[in-house]
């Protein structure tokens, strides 16, 4: 899903530098992060290039990118070793010298001092940057980046195509956490200010229980808007709509987006579950906390995954006291009180079994809500009657016990069956809590 419009908006290229990327030792998550961020602030990205620590190829790629795009974002190659070539190659590509920034040097020295280790001499090179460029501060590490608005005059001297319009170059370390902090704290404000003095504000509206194409169809009338823009994104069994607005101030952009956000939230109903960093487990945790309820989970086929996801959330010990993974039938009997007859007659993967499991774990843990899961995650263990992908969910609460049956496609992996079952279970809890507020 998604398209790019070639209009008056600036264009950008991403250059990732590092032999470890070419050897496949590292997954290039930086490019994805920057791509998504660029799309959100309305900057088109047409080329992404990955190269190793090689002077000729770095300089070639820098020049090619400057010939084609308004903005060049470079990640990697800012470290202190001989393999770190980004800064010097950038200076050479534009035909300028390097300046030494004493303030940066002091900051690097104090970084080592506070750790009580001597600074290797090689770190001095991290205080150098191309003449005429500015500092792109790195709040999280020693290596700062460059922020360089290159003038037509300098572009002309360096033999860059179309030198009339200035170019923006930014360099970032390859470490994702440092790159992201620098991007958010300095690069985004700079770019939004530089281009049309507009700021961008965006919000992800996360949905569960509807596919990406159905979501796109439902909101087809919004997808062609220009400000705010609305774009669907698919994830693992979930999807989201990103609403992005552009205006003179953040508050104005937010105001511009608000009616669209309100419309979507209202029309999506319970298909909408949260914003931005919300996950199903975060939302379930929030609802449990608000309603002062506790939950206990009895898992079979998911083997602890639901418990793991619920406890990924800081503070989850406030509403979870006990979860159990009753993998064996006798444990379902002994701990959860599932009747022997149920296991013999209906089997562990059945409506009756998850009903008794949910009721049993609720009682055993003295919780307000009991959740149970039993199914066949595969790859073995499936029969014609109960194939791989068959999963039952049980939810016991003060007014009774609800059951859901899932029939997941048998060709997906054990991990996917477990993940989707866990998501469905968490969503079942969410819907229950919403309906019983």
Q: How far is the CB of 185 from a copy of itself (least distance, A)?
A: 18
b/e map 255-278, b = 16+ CB within 10 Å: ebbeebbeebeeebeebbbbeeee
- Binding residue (CB under 8 A) for a copy of itself from 307, 352, 421, 427: 307
**Site for a copy of itself (CB under 8 A): which residue of 38, 108, 205, 425?**
38
Interaction residues for a copy of itself, span 389-408 (CB under 8 A): none
Q: Say how far apart CA 235 and CA 212 lie, in whole Å.
A: 9
**Residue among 26, 105, 293, 410 that touches a copy of itself (CB under 8 A):** 26
Residue 113 and residue 117: Cα distance in Å, rounded? 6
Separation of alpha carbons 177 and 185, rounded Å:
12
Binders of a copy of itself among residues 59 to 118 (CB under 8 A) are 61
By CB under 8 A, residue 415 contacts a copy of itself: yes
Residue 326 binds to a copy of itself (criterion: CB under 8 A): yes
Give the footprint of a copy of itself on residues 134-193 (CB under 8 A). none
308 binds a copy of itself (CB under 8 A): yes
Nearer CB in complex with a copy of itself: 146/299: 299
* Max Cα–Cα distance, the chain, nearest Å: 86
Return the SS3 of 429.
Answer: helix
Q: Please say which residue, 311 or 351, places its beta carbon nearer to a copy of itself.
A: 311
Q: How far apart are the C-alpha atoms of 303 and 310, rounded to whole Å?
A: 13
Q: Are 360 and 335 in contact (CB under 8 A)?
A: yes
d(CA 299, CA 296): 10
According to CB under 8 A, which one of 7, 269, 380, 400 is a site residue for a copy of itself?
380
Stretch 184-243 residues interacting with a copy of itself (CB under 8 A): 233-234
Pairing of strands 145-150, 167-172: antiparallel
Planar angle of CA 339, 345, 349, nearest 5 degrees: 80
Q: Does 29 bind a copy of itself (CB under 8 A)?
A: yes
Candidate segments 110-118, 156-164, 301-309, 428-436, binder of a copy of itself by CB under 8 A = 301-309
Q: Which is nearer to a copy of itself, 154 or 288 (CB)?
A: 288
Shortest Å, Cβ 326 to a copy of itself: 6
Pairing of strands 71-75, 272-275: unpaired
Instruction: Check if the beta carbon of residue 406 is closer than 8 Å to that of residue 289.
Output: no
Kindly indicate which of the ranges 74-82, 99-107, 150-158, 317-325 contains the residues binding a copy of itself, using the contact rule CB under 8 A. Answer: 317-325
Query: CA 257, CA 202: separation in Å to the nearest integer?
Result: 8
**Least separation, in Å, of the C-beta of 263 and a copy of itself?**
23
Query: Count of residues binding a copy of itself (CB under 8 A)?
Result: 71
Interacting residue with a copy of itself among 10, 31, 143, 274 (CB under 8 A): 31
CA dihedral over 30, 31, 36, 37, signed as positive or negative: positive
Continuous segment of H or E residues that includes residue 148: strand 145-150
Q: Name which of 21 and 393 has its Cβ closer to a copy of itself.
A: 21
Q: Which residues contact 39 (CB under 8 A, 6 or more apart)?
A: 2, 45, 231
Span 260-279, contacts to a copy of itself by CB under 8 A:
none
Part of the chain binding a copy of itself (CB under 8 A), chosen from 23-31, 184-192, 215-223, 255-263: 23-31
Q: How far is the CB of 231 from a copy of itself (least distance, A)?
A: 8
Site for a copy of itself in 2-21 (CB under 8 A): 2-4, 19-21
Residue 378 binds to a copy of itself (criterion: CB under 8 A) = yes
Which of these segments, 32-40, 128-136, 153-161, 191-199, binds a copy of itself (CB under 8 A)? 32-40
Q: Is residue 288 within 8 Å of 234, Cβ to Cβ?
A: no
């Amino acid at each position: 899903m998604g398209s790019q419009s070639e209009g008056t908006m600036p264009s950008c290229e991403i250059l990732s530098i590092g032999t470890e990327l070419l050897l496949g030792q590292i997954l290039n998550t930086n490019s994805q992060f920057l791509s998504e961020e660029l799309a959100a602030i309305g900057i088109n990205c047409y080329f992404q290039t990955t190269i190793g620590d090689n002077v000729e190829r770095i300089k070639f790629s820098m020049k090619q990118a400057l010939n084609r795009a308004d903005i060049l974002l470079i990640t990697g190659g800012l470290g202190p070793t001989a393999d770190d070539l980004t800064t010097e190659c950038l200076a050479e590509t534009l035909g300028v010298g390097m300046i030494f920034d004493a303030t940066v040097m002091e900051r690097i020295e104090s970084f080592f001092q506070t750790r009580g280790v001597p600074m290797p001499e090689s770190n001095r090179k991290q205080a150098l940057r191309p003449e005429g460029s500015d500092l792109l501060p790195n709040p999280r590490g020693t290596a700062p980046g460059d922020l360089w608005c290159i003038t037509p005059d300098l572009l002309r001297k360096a033999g860059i195509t179309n030198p009339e319009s200035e170019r923006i170059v930014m360099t970032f370390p390859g470490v994702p956490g440092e790159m992201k902090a620098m991007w958010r704290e300095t690069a985004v404000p700079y770019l939004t200010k530089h281009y049309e003095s507009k700021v961008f504000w965006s919000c992800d509206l996360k949905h569960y229980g509807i596919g990406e194409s159905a979501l796109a169809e439902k909101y087809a009338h919004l997808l062609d808007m220009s400000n705010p823009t609305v774009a669907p994104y698919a994830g693992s069994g979930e999807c989201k709509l990103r609403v992005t607005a552009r205006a003179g101030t953040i508050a104005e952009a937010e105001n511009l987006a608000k009616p669209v956000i309100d419309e979507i939230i209202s029309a999506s109903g319970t298909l909408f579950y949260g914003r931005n960093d919300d996950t199903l487990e975060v939302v379930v945790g929030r609802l449990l906390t608000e309603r002062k309820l506790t939950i206990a989970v009895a898992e079979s086929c998911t083997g602890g995954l639901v418990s793991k996801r619920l406890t990924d959330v800081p503070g989850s010990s406030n509403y979870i006291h006990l979860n159990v993974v009753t993998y064996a039938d006798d444990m379902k009997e002994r701990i959860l009180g599932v009747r022997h007859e149920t296991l013999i007659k209906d089997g562990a993967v059945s409506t009756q079994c998850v009903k008794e499991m949910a009721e049993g774990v609720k009682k055993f843990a003295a919780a307000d809500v009991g959740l149970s899961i039993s199914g066949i995650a595969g790859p073995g263990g499936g029969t014609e009657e109960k194939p791989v992908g068959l999963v039952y969910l049980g939810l016991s609460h003060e007014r009774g016990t609800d059951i859901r049956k899932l029939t997941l496609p048998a060709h997906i992996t054990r991990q996917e069956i477990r993940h989707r079952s866990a998501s469905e279970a968490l969503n079942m809890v969410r819907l229950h809590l919403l309906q019983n507020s």
